[in-house]
Structure 1
Amino acid sequence: MSHSTAAQAQESAGAPTMVVSARPVVLAAPGRGEDLQVRVSAPATGSGLPVIVFSHGFGCSMNDYAPLVDFWAAQGFVVLQPTHLDSRTLGIPAEDPRTPRIWRIRIEDLTRVLDGLHVLEASVPGLRGRLDRDHIAVAGHSWGAQTASALLGARVLDSDGVPGEDLSDSRVGAGVLLALTGLGDALSPFAEEHFPFMKPSFDTMTPPALIVAGDHDQSMLSTRGPDWFTDPYTYSPGDKSLLTLFGAEHSLGGITGYSATETTDENPARVALIQRLSSAFLRDAFQADDTSWKAAATELEQSPDPLGKLESK
């Protein structure tokens, strides 16, 4: 990867990297009922910038997850955040006829973002020609992690346990999956009734991915404990890493926003660890000679008071 040295040089000099952001950039979406709104965040300088397409959790929007997005952009990534139809900013009622299909439309949203890269690139002054289109990752939190996992090859099982359509995308080479729900055989009765799409198979989720789980993330959607969120690591093949955060609940310390009211386990140090490890993981996945992932993993392992544990396969 021809990653920019400008951001790194600025950082080593102690100056924060300038990040530019444009929103909403609108992509035409015939048949969706609403055009797709996207936020684009990027470092102001540098070229050969890898891309992260980020899928938000239920009810959120392109305006959320600033602690991750700002950090990734300052580290030299271009971050693309679509607003899905379940976003509170759109106010679509639960009885809307699209509601049962929103899980599928979410996946189409991410594909549409990839198809519209040229439009998104042109939306930010000075960004044109600076993207590294050979290095694209998907990331997401909660429902967004499930959405992102589909582009990495995860499938949804039907009522007979047969994998549904393959919605993976060959343009995507790696992923960061935050609080991704586990297997569907442990759904609560409520989830069984309302979320029939929460029956994943990770057997074909082959690209490299970092899975982040909180060991205090007790979901009402599952009859199991917090280990439910480690299933995507346990049951997927290939190059995977699992970061289990000690004491973390579903917002993993506060990744949804700097002052998000839904954060029940606010912990800036935990968020900072996710920032560092996620960017180092993606750099390692995209650039074979990068040493930041190994250094970050060693630092966590040798910490006298670690915030979590990291395992890889």
Structure 2
Amino acid sequence: MNNQAYKSQYPTCPVTTSHEVKLNGVVKDPLLLTCRWPENTPPKAVVIFCHGLGAGGQDYAQLSTELAANGYFVVHPTFPDWIGAVAAAYPDLGIKLDANNRFAWLNAPKVREQMFKILHSPSYWMERTLIVRQLLNGLDAILTSTCGRPKQPIPTAIAGHSFGAYTAQLFAGAEIDVPNKGKRQYKDKRLSAAILLSAQGRDQQGLREGSWDQMTGPVLNVTGTLDGGAKGQDWHWKCEPYHQAPAGDKYLAVLDNADHYLGGMTPDDPNSGIPNQSQAVTQLSLAFLDAYLQNDLAAKLWLAAISDHIGDCKLLFEKK
């Protein structure tokens, strides 16, 4: 059990948010990024956060803001599978964008069918990898145009939810089979750790037995007992990145009675938020980042002390 809330040793501070940061060189027009960073103090590390299917870079603000308030520069790209881009690409679907209900497409059968085709389309997988790679290449320029380039190099982690967790695990070392192209690896040594929130297991999107053999760095894998996959898989499938990866700085958290949205990481989630679950995700993420991007002993000890609860959130917790 761990009833003690995790508190970073880094003092919390106000957060600056910009939705207008530009990344050139990926698509015809500059890609707009959402970035958050601590005010008036240099960031201690960077977190690239990849959104899920249909979501966008402006989502996940709650988790992103908490990380930024604790010293992280958090950058959110928006990928071509966000619902606004899909609405423009497929006008015949008649998608009506609702700022107050970004996930309305889940209840529209034709739109839902197209979105799941996108999820299983290799061209969309690859587009995500191109954007993340370009973001990594342009990170110095992004920092310079926002909070200012740090005097010393700072570490970078990648995180993501759902389809974003798929993207994150590719950059953490998961190998996939791309139809008509064979095996592909996207591991990037510039990334020091990965957070996978509701990730994918075998037999989907090119993942298979042996895909995680080279995922050797620190990884936090989070799911819930009400979570599941796009093909009807249950939560056990969501744990496969942890179980299939080699031992060493790997963590698995399965939140009791948490669904795909893990307590509600953004107000736009289709299900009502459950604060004890979302707080557990935030504390796990922050402690993990402090442990492996800052080599913070207190964070590692906090993670080591978890057994079956974080505060009021019951969970299954494993480490190897």
Q: Which range, TM-score by smaller chain?
A: 0.7 to 0.9
Aligned equivalent of 1:136, options 156, 168, 171: 156
How do 1:117-132 and structure 2 match up within 5 A?
117-124=139-146, 127-130=147-150
Structure 2 segments unaligned to the other structure (5+ residues): 1-7, 92-113
Shift of residue 199, structure 1, vs aligned partner = 4.9
Contact 1:153 1:168 in 2 (8 A): yes
Aligned equivalent of 2:271, options 263, 266, 271: 263
Please name the residue that 2:30 is paired with. 35
Matched, 1:19 2:29: no
Q: 1:150 to 1:131 in 2, by over 3 A?
A: farther
How do 1:45-124 and structure 2 match up within 5 A?
45-47=40-42, 49-90=44-85, 91-94=87-90, 100-124=122-146
Number of paired residues?
283
Q: Kindly provide the amino acid, as one letter, of the partner of residue 216 in structure 1.
A: L
Q: 1:304 to 1:173 in 2, by over 3 A?
A: closer
Shift of residue 262, structure 1, vs aligned partner = 1.4
Q: 1:131 to 1:110 in 2, by over 3 A?
A: farther
Q: 1:285 to 1:226 in 2, by over 3 A?
A: same
Contact 1:219 1:225 in 2 (8 A): yes
The Cα offsets for residues 69-107 of structure 1, whole Å up to 9 and x where unpaired, read as 0000011100010010111233342599x9651111101
Please name the residue that 1:171 is paired with. 190
The Cα offsets for residues 155-200 of structure 1, whole Å up to 9 and x where unpaired, read as 112569x96222111100101100001111xx5xxxxxxxx54558
SS at match of 1:250: coil
Q: Kindly provide the amino acid, as one letter, of the partner of residue 82 in structure 1.
A: P
Q: Kindly provide the amino acid, as one letter, of the partner of residue 172 in structure 2.
A: L
Give me the whole-angstrom Cα distance separating, in 1, the residues matched to 2:126 and 2:136. 16
Aligned equivalent of 2:252, options 242, 257, 260: 242
Matched, 1:206 2:226: no
Contact 1:277 1:297 in 2 (8 A): no
Larger mean CA deviation between 132-141 and 49-58 belongs to: 132-141
Q: 1:94 to 1:232 in 2, by over 3 A?
A: farther
Please name the residue that 2:101 is paired with. none
Contact 1:181 1:229 in 2 (8 A): yes
Q: 1:229 to 1:42 in 2, by over 3 A?
A: same
Shift of residue 263, structure 1, vs aligned partner = 2.5
Contact 1:134 1:171 in 2 (8 A): no
Give me the whole-angstrom Cα distance separating, in 2, the residues matched to 1:134 and 1:168. 19
Give me the whole-angstrom Cα distance separating, in 1, the residues matched to 2:196 and 2:151. 22
How do 1:264-303 and structure 2 match up within 5 A?
266-298=273-305, 301=308
Structure 1 segments unaligned to the other structure (5+ residues): 1-6, 12-16, 188-195
SS at match of 1:217: coil
Identity over aligned pairs, percent: 29
Q: 1:272 to 1:36 in 2, by over 3 A?
A: same
Q: Kindly provide the amino acid, as one letter, of the partner of residue 29 in structure 1.
A: G
After TM superposition, the score normalised by the length of structure 2 is: 0.80
Contact 1:20 1:43 in 2 (8 A): yes
SS at match of 2:252: strand
Contact 1:78 1:131 in 2 (8 A): no
Give me the whole-angstrom Cα distance separating, in 1, the residues matched to 2:90 and 2:217. 34
Q: 1:121 to 1:303 in 2, by over 3 A?
A: closer
Give me the whole-angstrom Cα distance separating, in 2, the residues matched to 1:302 and 1:104. 38
Q: 1:292 to 1:304 in 2, by over 3 A?
A: closer
Q: Kindly provide the amino acid, as one letter, of the partner of residue 150 in structure 2.
A: R
Larger mean CA deviation between 277-286 and 293-302 belongs to: 293-302
Please name the residue that 1:192 is paired with. none
Higher relative contact order (CA 8 A, sep 6+): 2
SS at match of 2:191: coil
Aligned equivalent of 1:183, options 185, 189, 202: 202
Aligned equivalent of 1:227, options 233, 236, 247: 236
Q: 1:70 to 1:289 in 2, by over 3 A?
A: closer
Contact 2:228 2:238 in 1 (8 A): no
Contact 1:177 1:212 in 2 (8 A): yes
